[in-house]
Amino acid sequence: MNKIYLKKVDENIFDIIKFEKEDFINQVENKFSISIDENELSEVFNLNNTKYFLCESDTLNAKDIEWVNLSELISESFINDDEKRKILNYFYRLNKLKKEKLFFDLKSEDKDKQEKLEKFILKKNKGISSDVNSNKEIIISNSSNEINALNIDIDKYSAHSLEDLYQFAMEEIYQEFINIVSLNTNFSTATYYGLTGLTESGKSYYSSQLDKNFNYWNLKIRYFIEEAKFLIDEGQSKLLELYSINLMLDFAIFHYYKDSYAVESVYSLNFHNQLKEVFGENYNLIFIDAPENIRVNRSEDAIETLKKKDIKKKAYGIDKLKDKADLIVDNSRTVSYSNEQIKNFIGCKGVL
């Protein structure tokens, strides 16, 4: 129940077992020496017009087929990434696979200092638990030998106050948690399009257009950040943003049938960098560009207010995101002209 049959291509190299559409049942029966009917096959997913089926049987005996542990599929790349994500997502929903969590230990010769820091972390972060059986994503494991935990040696920061120790420990937690979240993207089958731009550039409008015209659900990142604030210390801005990305990932994994999402909006350079590190090639940044005079005409605010908003956004690195963008949309003309630029971009990405 926790293994899957894969075709052995070479030593430690496997592939999905595939058959042509015609006479499919007979091909399966001849290959595996079993008798099946269509009711014993369940369609797992459809990818690039190829249907993938699950055949549950313990009598498979083809010589070039081997059992592979499901857990091995998460870290291995011996099959196509898109296929792998679909398979992992399917077995995740069957409760055969679990997402990775971050377990960490605090280490110190001074047990009193260690206990005070642990209590301080738990007090300020409701999303961190000291119960190893908790369903929370980040857990203080209390030196459980059965868990591969991140060890945080707080004695190397012994000259600092409790608040300083807390800051150092949370930075180490962040650096490890981003690896955990990145690994868990293996359960997501979606592509993410982040939209950004200066005030009144049109990013919100075109996020909604992606939703309306192409059925890309528009995920407002502010919602996930507000949810994360109940779980992570607001003073830990990087970890808070990363946790909000993790919540967004959970949403996408649950809604596995959605291929693409518009993320509104990427409001800082740091947030963009985190999205890129977590999702890699499955994340694309779209910068909506419009000159100041057009943005002023669109705005209900006075020009001085708009300029103040621009200054604030630039402090977060919004202007630098133009150089990072996978697509810069010239939004100085008509809506249809801007829509066409976006349509051509997502088309060349293989979505349409």
Rounded to an integer, what distance in angstroms lies between the CA atom of residue 144 and that of residue 314? 46
Overall average pLDDT of the 14-42 stretch: 81
264 CB-near residues (< 8 Å, 6+ apart) = 195, 203, 204, 207, 218, 219, 220, 221
The alpha helices in the chain, defined as continuous H runs, are 24-32, 70-75, 81-93, 111-124, 162-184, 203-214, 221-228, 237-254, 269-279, 292-298, 303-315, 321-324, 335-348
Lowest mean pLDDT among 9-13, 245-249, 290-294, 346-350: 346-350
Lowest mean pLDDT among 21-25, 219-223, 277-281, 330-334: 21-25
Strand 102-107 with 138-140, pairing: parallel
Q: Examine the pLDDT at 61 and tell me if it is beyond 80.
A: no
Rounded to an integer, what distance in angstroms lies between the CA atom of residue 195 and that of residue 342? 11
Q: How many CB atoms lie within 10 A of CB 149?
A: 19
- My answer on whether omega of the bond before 265 falls inside 30° of 0, hence cis, is yes
Question: What's the start-to-end Cα distance of the chain, in Å?
Answer: 36
Residue 330 pairs with which residues in a beta bridge?
A: 289
User: Model confidence over 328-344: pLDDT tens digits?
Assistant: 999 999 999 999 999 99
CB 84 within 8 A of CB 57: no
pLDDT for res 121: 98
Q: Determine what percent of the chain is predicted with pLDDT higher than 70.
A: 94
pLDDT for res 21: 78
User: Model confidence over 136-155: pLDDT tens digits?
Assistant: 999 998 765 556 899 999 99
DSSP conformation letters of 136-151: SSEEE-TT-TTS--EE
Quickly state the pLDDT bin for 65 (edges 50, 70, 90).
confident
